[in-house]
Structure 1
Amino acid sequence: CFSCLPPYVAYLASMERENYAYFFQALNGGNVPLRVETIGNDDIIRWAYNVALTRHQVVIPAVEKKMAPLADMINHGTYPNVDITYDGEGNCVVTSIRDIPADSQLTISLGDASNPSPLFATYGFLDDDCPGVFCKALDHQQEMQELGYDFTELLFGTETGEIGSRVWNLFLYKLLKDNNDPNAQALLTAVQNKDSA
């Protein structure tokens, strides 16, 4: 079924399936004190996994995962207005990070909105507030490395449809390289020297 998905989303979905398998193995290995009837109930196990996956907050610097009633109901926002922390006694503290108008929802960041695939794979939604999204050129990773690019630099504008210059450079470089065109080396040199002429 993964072949029906775009490559990056398929990769993320397969990673989730693998994580679920580890979760299931840990439960069946006796690592969690649960009754056999509970562990044997697929619906309960799937529910528990999804709750743990989608409702936790990552606590920095310890990189612990914690769950707090009500705080787990705060929605995602591209421009969050609250921060979730935990004090020394383990109490959850929700603090505004900017002025919040009356009747506005509280929001946190669940991930980089310019890379919507992990948000979709983990939480089941796409963020429509982001001005740009990553180009998922997974099959061009070698060329990206040669050009010195990262996925975060390859953007499409969501409002204007603009294609970032690095996306153009990447696909042009791949095309030239695949056709043994000598201009591939010239483009590579220009990108490495930051020469846009």
Structure 2
Amino acid sequence: MSNFIDINEYTAARDIGTFDEWSTNCGVQRSDGFQIVESETNTGDIDYSIITTEPIPGESPVLFVSNEMIFTSENIRAEFAGQNLGLEDAEQLLEKLGVPPSYFSQYHLFLKILIEYQNGSDSPWYPWLNSLPRKFSNGSSMTPYCYECLPPLVSKLSMNERIKFINFYKSLQVISPNLLSDDIRNNQELSKWAYNIVYTRCFGNTLVPMADMFNHASIDVNIEIRMDENQNCYVYSLRDIQPNEPLCLSYGDPTNPSHLFATYGFLDESSPATFCKIMNIKPTPELQNIGLDYTKMLFFKDTGDITEEVWDVLLYQILELRGEQNVKAEFYNAHMNGDADTKNDIHQRYFEYTSSTLKDHVDTFLKELDDLSAKALTKNVNEHPRIPIILAHNAFVKETFLKVQTKINGMVEQYA
């Protein structure tokens, strides 16, 4: 009888050794010194990553994985097309539930993981599946109480992940029992595991065993994944890499740690900046032209510096609230025409208001962070096991905001 993978996050160990041997037997090619190493996360959990013990010159091959080992959305859909297995019905249900078609690629991968889990040790990918994580700390893995202990943006992003997972799970009810048994389709914890495998390890519409072991870097990215026309995977170095250096990809915008936290479940302490957390501004085309964007309205972690877009958006909103339409139009036109002198002049005239507004926001947000963390500490970590990383996240954000608070206080004192 086929053996199923144990996905219990508290008792199941990842079998990295067998996976490593399996990948070699499947023809995975690696650069000299390529090694899987064990490490500890900032919450004390065990993680694995890739390093090189030998130097790698820039633009050199680091890893090759053949298409026979790789899951792609296109191949999965082609595999089950025309078999009346419920895939089209599931996609229609997802759309009714509000899941856009752009997520269907990940849904196909999600189904494939469940199918191969169902095959147990008879699956050709069993050694890879048995090496994958069991514990996740991203938004879909949190309890509803966890969201109440996070700041508004990351709470919203995390809840969105949970909603998306629930919709994926609901759609399994229209998948044919000939594809997935009732035991598989009705196992919510298993579905959550499969969902998290996809969303923490896929590259677009692709899952690549071994390439999914590379960790994230915000700044010092040194490798890049490339797929050829036959969907073979190649990984190349982007620069000279030294011995014992981690091999790292970029998982996304380094100035958006909230997205990385909600989707992947890790705290990117190397992130140089974070969104300023101003959430109460209703977007308009004009504000978006000025810079109302999560990736542009930033606070910098090490210096407390504030991007120009923060000041611009706050000033534009203040001018609107004060009814100063002529000045607002003058500022907008200056921005759109690249007239820095006019913009700076208006900023100087209204600095008392923008600085006061920003200071109040930072002071209030710091108090909110303390309240959220205090709330998290009132719950049993055994019932809410993601509380430690939530506390670490809030502390990390607080560190940045304290730097910004010092910067703003100094600017206000100088102005006075």
TM-score by length of 2: 0.42
Residue of structure 2 equivalent to 1:61: none
Unaligned runs of 5+ in 1: 59-64
2:198 matches 1:52: yes
Change (3 A) 1:55 1:179: same
2:289 matches 1:145: no
CA contact (8 A) 1:8 1:138 kept: yes
CA contact (8 A) 1:80 1:108 kept: yes
CA contact (8 A) 2:274 2:300 kept: yes
Change (3 A) 1:173 1:3: farther
Instruction: Name the CA distance, whole Å, in 2 between partners of 1:17 and 1:43.
Output: 13
Name which of 158, 168, 171 aligns with 1:23.
Answer: 168
Matched residue count: 191
Q: How does 1:25-104 map to 2 (within 5 A)?
A: 25-30=170-175, 33-58=179-204, 65-78=205-218, 79-104=220-245
Instruction: Name the CA distance, whole Å, in 2 between partners of 1:105 and 1:31.
Output: 44
Instruction: Name the CA distance, whole Å, in 2 between partners of 1:94 and 1:105.
Output: 14
2:305 matches 1:162: yes
- The structural deviation recorded for 1:54 is 0.7
Deviates more, 1:182-191 or 1:28-37: 182-191
The structure carrying a bigger helix percent of its residues is 2
Residue of structure 1 equivalent to 2:58: none
Instruction: Name the CA distance, whole Å, in 2 between partners of 1:147 and 1:25.
Output: 36
Paired AA for residue 80 in structure 1: V
Instruction: Name the CA distance, whole Å, in 2 between partners of 1:5 and 1:124.
Output: 13
Structure with more contact order per residue of length (Cα contacts < 8 Å, sep ≥ 6): 2
- The structural deviation recorded for 1:122 is 0.5
Residue of structure 2 equivalent to 1:12: 157
Q: How does 1:97-136 map to 2 (within 5 A)?
A: 97-136=238-277
- The structural deviation recorded for 1:110 is 0.4
SS in 2 for 1:27: helix
Instruction: Name the CA distance, whole Å, in 1 between partners of 2:318 and 2:256.
Output: 25
- The structural deviation recorded for 1:127 is 2.1
SS in 1 for 2:340: coil
CA contact (8 A) 1:12 1:118 kept: yes
Unaligned runs of 5+ in 2: 1-143, 342-416
- The structural deviation recorded for 1:4 is 4.6
Instruction: Name the CA distance, whole Å, in 2 between partners of 1:39 and 1:146.
Output: 46
Deviations 1:10-48 (A, max 9, x none): 332232123212311332211681211122222211111
Instruction: Name the CA distance, whole Å, in 1 between partners of 2:296 and 2:242.
Output: 33
CA contact (8 A) 1:143 1:174 kept: no
Q: What percent identity do the matched residue pairs reach? A: 36
TM-score by length of 1: 0.83
Paired AA for residue 77 in structure 1: A
Deviations 1:33-92 (A, max 9, x none): 12111222222111111111111112xxxxxx1112221110001231111223344332
- The structural deviation recorded for 1:3 is 5.3
Instruction: Name the CA distance, whole Å, in 2 between partners of 1:133 and 1:140.
Output: 17
Deviations 1:162-183 (A, max 9, x none): 1122211211221232132454
Change (3 A) 1:147 1:184: farther
Structure number with bigger Rg: 2
